[in-house]
Amino acid sequence: MPYRRLPNTDTARIKAMQIALEKGKELPPHKLAFSSKTVVRLQKFLPQFEHSIQLYRQSLASQNKKSKVYNENLRKARIYLTHFIRVMNMAISRGDLPVETRAYYGLATNESTVPSLNTENGLMSWGRRIIEGEEFRIRKVGSPITNPTIAVVKVRFENFIEAWNYHNTLVKKTSDYTEKNNNLRKETDEIIRQLWNEIETTHSALPEERKKILNEEYGLVYFYRKNELEKASAKVIY
């Protein structure tokens, strides 16, 4: 006898419950292979589960779509900050600016390296230091660094911050749906297990092949073990 396998994807779970509910519409309660209590439970739970899965998929699709915009804003902010620091360092190398200029941005005065902007936190931290430092330096000295100016850098940086906040909102939303659906899946599997147990119990006195056919009409899924498949193939060959 083949063994049954409970659904392991959301699509399969929904299909299993839908097939059972269709049977509930086709047959009167006294002819149905599972209880009226299970019918009511399915009618109440299935729309809730379908809706939650749909919301998760929509949230994930939106997150993936907006990720491209976010990554582009991240890239631009990193490039403009890097270029600003390099231009400032080149001005120091030429003697146009004193080495003490680096102190305005929280940089070591004796080093011309660009600080690490590889992480989001590093980019946000250094972005604020560079922007605030240059704005303060302009107020004090009056000669802005150009190509790029800090105004342009600030626009790119603020675009990144806005995109970062929105991206995190979408990630949190998707994560919340994921957690909710994980809990719903546990209930879904319990409902389907109970449903299929009732169906198999109702048909338990029937011959094996007839029982399998009727159970499959209710949505149960059976798989043959390897040795059973080999026996079945041998019969066909014979």
CA nearest to 128, candidates 154, 107, 152, 89:
154
105 in a structural domain: yes
Q: Which residues pair with 223 in a beta bridge?
A: 3
Residue range 67-125, pLDDT digits in tens? 999 999 999 999 999 999 999 999 999 999 999 999 999 999 999 999 999 999 999 99
Residue range 54-71, pLDDT digits in tens? 999 999 999 999 999 999
Residue range 29-44, pLDDT digits in tens? 999 999 999 999 999 9
> Which pLDDT does position 237 carry in this prediction?
45
> Which pLDDT does position 218 carry in this prediction?
95
CA 110 – CA 34 distance, rounded (Å): 80
Q: Average of pLDDT values for 141-145?
A: 91
- Kindly report the three-state secondary structure assignment for every residue of 52-117: HHHHHHHHHHHHHHHHHHHHHHHHHHHHHHHHHHHHHHHHHHHCCCCHHHHHHHCCCCCCCCCCCC
> Which pLDDT does position 2 carry in this prediction?
82
171 in a structural domain: yes
Tell me the three state secondary structure of residue 6. coil
Among 11-20, 124-133, 226-235, the range scoring the smallest mean pLDDT is 226-235
Structure tokens at 160: 């990144």
Q: Which helix (H) or strand (E) holds 223?
A: strand 222-223
Which residues are within 8 A (CB) of 73 and not within 5 positions of it... i.e. 6 or more apart?
A: 156, 159, 160, 162, 163, 164
By residue range, what is the domain housing residue 147?
3-230
- Is a pLDDT exceeding 70 seen at residue 227? no
222 in a structural domain: yes
- Is a pLDDT exceeding 90 seen at residue 131? yes
237 in a structural domain: no
> Which pLDDT does position 3 carry in this prediction?
84
The amino acid occupying position 54 is Q
Per the structure, the count of domains in the chain is: 1
Cα distance from N-terminal residue to C-terminal residue, the chain: 20
238 in a structural domain: no
236 in a structural domain: no
Tell me the three state secondary structure of residue 4. strand
Q: Phi-psi bin for 84: left (phi > 0), alpha (psi -120 to 50), beta?
A: alpha
123 in a structural domain: yes
- Is a pLDDT exceeding 70 seen at residue 235? no
Q: Quick one: what percent of the chain has pLDDT higher than 90?
A: 90
The answer to whether the CB of 6 falls within 8 A of the CB of 229 is no
| DSSP-derived pairing of the beta strands 222-223 and 3-4 | antiparallel
CA nearest to 219, candidates 3, 1, 2, 6:
6
CA nearest to 32, candidates 199, 145, 208:
199
